[in-house]
């Protein structure tokens, strides 16, 4: 009799879990509700844990809403879009892609009915990314993003519908979002400036309280340092990063100082033709601007090696 009751309880529990997941698609993303950060009057950011992919940002222009990046999950994109359209009582104008890494673009199907904007420098990257058999390599991706397989189940991809070169203005009057090429983290990285409320959207050029990823094949440390220096001269209150909480100019400077040190150390090691062991030891000894107790990511040493190979001695 006790076994029978236990089976009934277990069956009811199992049904309840599946029913909840069915009723609430967000459950499969590892979260049940969005972690919303009101950055300014017209700018809201979803602060995602890295398992859920990149942060997402909504900028409420006078003409409508512009979304920046779409995380790993279609479900997160849909929920965020719905909440922002209700909050601001405006339609969605477009989705903008900061750069072409999977944790930033997998949720694009949440915006399938609006223009999808990227820099023309991203065409090659998009062609390469969308040619990948993600199902075949999902176990490798899961070593970096543990929920990758869940994200893949609902992901539907398309190429951007609008490409810009250099600079693009969205909106009208004093409510404009200006997109510009950046380079650095990847060759197709861009940033956006919302001058009206002094907000920068910076993608992965700034990653708050995480090991920064600088192993992209098209990345350029010199361009990365240059764009950080440019932002240090600009008037802004907050920068919305690709990962982590919002940053101020002081945090941006800490990031730039780290990359200055990294670039100088890589150049010095290249001149000495350093061994791989010395390379990792030296770079990992550079003073961090993120928490000391953070575990070393599985990709970090490979990023160091790739940056070292690309370092040019003048």
Residue 287 pLDDT: 95
On whether residue 139 sits in a domain, the answer given is yes
On whether residue 15 sits in a domain, the answer given is no
In whole angstroms, how far apart are CA 230 and each of 5, 47, 213, 262?
Answer: 67, 25, 20, 19
On whether residue 311 sits in a domain, the answer given is no
CB 262 within 8 A of CB 214: yes
CB 201 within 8 A of CB 238: no
On whether residue 268 sits in a domain, the answer given is no
Residue 314 pLDDT: 76
The residue range of the domain holding 177 is 33-248
- Can you list the positions of beta strands (E) in 208-298? 238-243
On whether residue 41 sits in a domain, the answer given is yes
Residue 23 pLDDT: 55
Q: Tell me how far apart the alpha carbons of residues 289 and 266 are, in angstroms, rounded to a whole number.
A: 18
On whether residue 159 sits in a domain, the answer given is yes
| Contacts of 276 by beta carbon, 8 Å cutoff, 6+ apart | 305
Residue 236 pLDDT: 97
Read off the CATH number of the domain in which 41 is found: 3.60.15.10
Q: Tell me how far apart the alpha carbons of residues 30 and 148 are, in angstroms, rounded to a whole number.
A: 11
On whether residue 262 sits in a domain, the answer given is no
Mean pLDDT in each 10-residue stretch from start to end of the chain (314 residues)? 35 38 74 95 97 97 98 97 98 98 98 98 97 96 95 97 97 95 97 98 97 95 98 97 97 98 97 96 96 94 96 85
Residue 26 pLDDT: 87
Q: How many residues does the chain have?
A: 314
DSSP 263: H
Task: Count how many domains the chain has.
Answer: 1
Residue 209: Cβ within 10 Å count: 14
On whether residue 309 sits in a domain, the answer given is no
């Amino acid at each position: 009799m006790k076994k029978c009751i236990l089976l009934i309880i277990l069956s009811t529990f199992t049904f309840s879990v599946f029913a909840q997941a069915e009723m609430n698609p967000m459950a499969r993303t590892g979260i049940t509700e969005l972690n919303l950060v009101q950055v300014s009057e017209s700018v809201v950011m979803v602060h995602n844990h890295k398992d859920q992919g990149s942060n997402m940002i909504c900028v409420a222009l006078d003409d409508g809403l512009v979304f920046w990046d779409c995380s790993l999950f279609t479900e997160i994109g849909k929920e965020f879009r719905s909440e922002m359209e209700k909050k601001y009582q405006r339609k969605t104008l477009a989705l903008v892609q900061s750069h072409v890494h999977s944790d930033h673009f997998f949720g694009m199907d949440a915006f399938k009915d609006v223009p999808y904007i990227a820099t023309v420098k991203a065409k090659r990257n998009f062609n390469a990314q969308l040619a990948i058999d993600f199902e075949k390599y999902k176990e490798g991706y899961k070593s970096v993003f543990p929920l990758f397989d869940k994200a893949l189940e609902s992901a539907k991809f398309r190429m951007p519908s609008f490409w810009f070169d250099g600079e693009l203005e969205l909106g009208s009057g004093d409510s404009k979002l200006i997109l510009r090429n950046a380079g650095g983290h990847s060759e197709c990285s861009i940033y956006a400036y919302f001058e009206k409320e002094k907000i920068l959207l910076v993608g992965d050029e700034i990653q708050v309280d995480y090991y920064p990823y600088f192993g992209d094949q098209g990345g350029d440390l010199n361009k990365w340092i240059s764009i950080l220096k440019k932002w240090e001269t600009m008037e802004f209150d907050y920068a919305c990063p690709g990962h982590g909480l919002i940053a101020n100019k002081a945090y941006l400077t800490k990031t730039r100082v780290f990359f200055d040190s990294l670039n100088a150390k890589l150049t010095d090691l290249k001149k000495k033709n350093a061994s791989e062991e010395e390379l990792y030891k030296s770079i990992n000894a550079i003073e961090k601007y993120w928490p000391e107790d953070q575990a070393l990511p599985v990709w970090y040493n490979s990023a160091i090696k790739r940056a070292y190979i690309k370092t040019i001695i003048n």
